[in-house]
Amino acid sequence: MGFCLLNNVALAAQYLIHEFGAKRIAILDIDLHHGNGTQDIFYERDDVLFISTHQYPLYPFTGFLEEMGAGKGQGLNANLPLPPMSGNHAFSAATDELILPLLDRFAPEMLLISAGMDAHWADPLGHLILSAAGYGEVIGRFTAWADAHCAGRIALFLEGGYDLEGGSSCATAAVAALLGQPFTDPVGPAPYREKGDWRVVLEHAKGLWQLE
Rounded to 5°, angle at Cα 1 from 44 and 46: 15
Q: What is the pLDDT of residue 24?
A: 98
Mind listing the pLDDT tens digit for each residue in 199-211? Answer: 999 999 999 999 9
Answer whether residue 108 shows pLDDT above 80: yes
Report pLDDT for 26.
Answer: 99
Tell me what pLDDT residue 5 has: 86
Containing H/E element for 61? Answer: none
Q: What are the residue ranges spanned by the domains of the chain? A: 24-208
Whether the pLDDT of residue 115 is over 90: the answer is yes
Is pLDDT above 80 for 138? yes
Q: Which CATH superfamily is domain 24-208 in?
A: Histone deacetylase domain (3.40.800.20)
Express each pLDDT in 63-81 by its tens digit: 999 999 999 999 999 999 9
| Residue 164, pLDDT score | 97
pLDDT at residue 104 greater than cutoff 80 = yes
Beta-carbon contacts of 3 under 8 Å, excluding residues fewer than 6 positions away, are: 33, 160
Phi, psi at 52, each rounded to 5°: -125, 125
The Cα 171–Cα 173 span in angstroms is 5
Please report, rounded to a whole number, the percentage of residues in the chain having pLDDT higher than 90: 97
Separation of alpha carbons 169 and 189, rounded Å: 12
Q: DSSP label at 192?
A: S
pLDDT exceeds cutoff 90 at 154: yes
| Region at 174 (left for phi over 0; alpha for psi -120 to 50; beta for the rest) | alpha
- Give the number of other Cβ atoms within 10 Å of residue 207's Cβ: 11
Q: Looking at the predicted structure, is the pLDDT value of residue 145 above 80?
A: yes
pLDDT at 9: 98
Q: Over the chain, what is the mean pLDDT?
A: 97
pLDDT at position 151 is 98
pLDDT of residue 160: 93
Predicted confidence (pLDDT) per residue in 10-54, tens digit: 999 999 999 999 999 999 999 999 999 999 999 999 999 999 999
